[in-house]
Amino acid sequence: MSRGWRLRAMRKEAGAAVEKRAGDFRRLQALGLIPLDGDFYPVVHYPGITMYPPAGEEDLFRGYTPPADGRISVYVHIPFCGRRCHFCHYPVTVGASDGDKAAYLDALALEARLYRRRLGLDRPKVSSVLVGGGTPTFLPPALLARFLEDFTSQFDLSGAPQFSYDVDPGTLLGPEGGERLRILKAHGVGRLTIGLQSLDDGVLGRMNRAHDSAAALRAVEAARAAGFKLNIEFIYGYPGDTMETWTATVRRAAALGVEEVQLYRIKLIPYGDHAGFFSRGVARPQTPPEEVFRMKQAAQLLLEEAGYTENLRRVFSKDPADFSRYAHDQCCGLVDQIGLGLTAFSSLRDRFALPTADLKEYYALLAAGRLPVNRGLVRGAAAQAVWAFVLPLKNRRVIKGHFKRLTGRLPGEIFGARIARLKEAGLLYEDAAKLELTPEGAFFADEVCHQFYQPEFMPFGRGAYAPGPLNPYLV
């Protein structure tokens, strides 16, 4: 059998798999699982991050006690950017001076002290750290060092937790970029997530990214040479990104050989405190939902061909040990996490606290000696059960014993009818110890998880779905 024949056979098989996913989309849409317009709302938190009512610090922390072992996970948000990307749903600050950035770092340091006081922990032990934004490396090297020195003085990282940083390619280049990499390494950062988003210059321009593909590749090499583990991120379904340009991007990404490759579907519905370029009606993606799913399936096949397998949902790695411990803590371990900074949420074992998105209010609350939270929820038993079920189900699996420790009941006692119909549909697998999505269920993970949502927290109304047996309102 010639090599050319084998390649043609593989391409034909891959093409059939891609078309099958488009057929699965239409079939599941008719059954009521997927909205009729193909719209999308990711399962990242429960309830969704835009659905929290007003609440203050006292209400949200009344009755809370820190974990018995004193260990927490920490997220820090640094909102500064050189420009706003068109897909961004989060509040960022463009055009800030070095003085503005220094003032924000002062506020972060104060917020950390207030959180330590609220938790009653002198120097909390940290299980994982993520610093995101914004562009958290969009700081002069001296301010980056200052932030890291303060953070590592207030939190105990002696247990060698995974310390991850989200970075933009441009901030890793040139003399300042090299200095930033050295500073990050010196303060214990070991894993970088580099937001490449695409390796097609036309698509990058439409995204309003500050870099081209050549700069993105140089940044990956600089970070790898500095000794970091790397996760590179890409967005699929972006307007103007075709199957041809998308698969070319994925092939180039796979050839880089980094530890992790992460895929994001373009979000249309606001999923943060800022409506993105498309959500505001300035433009709307023209990529049909069927094509979006084709792009996802094509990327998965190309990554698998290169030796990657799906680890956490939408994250592909060659070594199963390479994944974000922060993401795992949040969605699978369900451990207590605190957030520092503008809109940096805190996800605790039975509650969720969300800070203000307004920088002036953020500063004013901190100056008054208060944590800057203004929204959130202490979950009741029903919401707690959904939270403890859908986050691990989407990302890995639900361990029945862990679920019972969090809720007092087994999953089948609460969600028996929903579990049964998803098993019958071939979307969910169950054994004595766990529940997990089948390969088809995993491909449509967000939509499957919506099956367990309370009606008041559904992202779409009853009329958005076909009246089939998987309509989430018909259980």
Domain boundaries along the sequence of the chain: 10-39+379-475, 57-332
Q: What's the Rg (C-alpha) of the chain?
A: 22
* Spatial distance between the Cα atoms of 264 and 237, rounded to a whole number of angstroms: 9
Q: Which CATH fold topology does 10-39+379-475 show?
A: Arc Repressor Mutant, subunit A (1.10.10)
Crossing angle of helices 174-186 and 141-154, rounded to 10°: 10
- Find where tokens 């950035």 sit: 101
Q: How many CB atoms lie within 10 A of CB 317?
A: 22
In terms of C-beta density within 10 A (0-12 exposed, 13-18 middle, 19 or more buried), how is residue 158 classed? exposed
Please name the residues in contact with 343: beta carbons below 8 A apart, sequence gap of 6 or more: 77, 90, 91, 272, 273, 354, 355, 356, 357
**How would you classify the pairing of strands 191-197 and 229-236?**
parallel
CA distance 51 to 293: 27
302: which residues sit within 8 A by CB, 6+ positions away? 247, 250, 251, 254
How far apart (Å, rounded) are the C-alpha atoms in residues 52 and 345?
11
The pLDDT tens digits along the chain (475 residues) read: 555 554 455 566 778 989 999 999 999 999 999 999 999 999 999 999 989 999 999 999 999 999 988 899 999 999 999 888 888 877 788 889 999 999 999 999 999 999 999 999 899 999 999 999 988 999 999 999 999 999 999 999 999 899 999 999 999 999 999 999 999 999 999 999 999 999 999 999 999 988 999 999 999 999 999 999 999 999 999 999 999 999 999 999 999 999 999 999 998 765 444 444 554 444 555 789 999 999 999 999 999 999 999 999 999 999 999 999 999 999 999 999 999 999 999 999 999 999 999 999 999 999 999 999 999 999 999 999 999 999 999 999 999 999 999 999 999 999 999 999 999 999 999 999 999 999 999 999 999 999 999 999 999 999 999 999 999 999 7
Pairing of strands 260-265, 229-236: parallel
Q: Is the dihedral of CA 463, 468, 470, 474 positive or negative?
A: positive
Q: Which amino acid is at 102?
A: A
Best CA proximity match to 246, nearest among 194, 308, 297: 297
Do residues 378 and 61 touch, judged by C-beta distance below 8 A?
Answer: no
Q: Which fold has domain 57-332?
A: pyruvate-formate lyase- activating enzyme (3.80.30)
| pLDDT given at position 4 | 56
Separation between Cα atoms, residue 198 and residue 329, nearest integer Å: 28
Omega before 205 within 30 of 0, i.e. cis: no
Please give the Cα distance from 201 to 208 (Å, whole number).
Answer: 10
What is the spatial distance between Cα 287 and Cα 173, in angstroms, rounded to a whole number? 33
Concatenated DSSP letters of 169-195: GGGGSHHHHHHHHHHHHHTT--EEEEE
Compute the distance between CA of residue 316 and CA of residue 262 in angstroms, rounded to an integer: 6
Q: What pLDDT is stored for residue 428 in this prediction?
A: 99
69: three-class secondary structure by DSSP = coil
Instruction: Please check whether residue 397 is in contact with residue 428, taking contact to mean a CB–CB distance below 8 angstroms.
Output: no
Residue given tokens 């970070």 in the structure block: 223
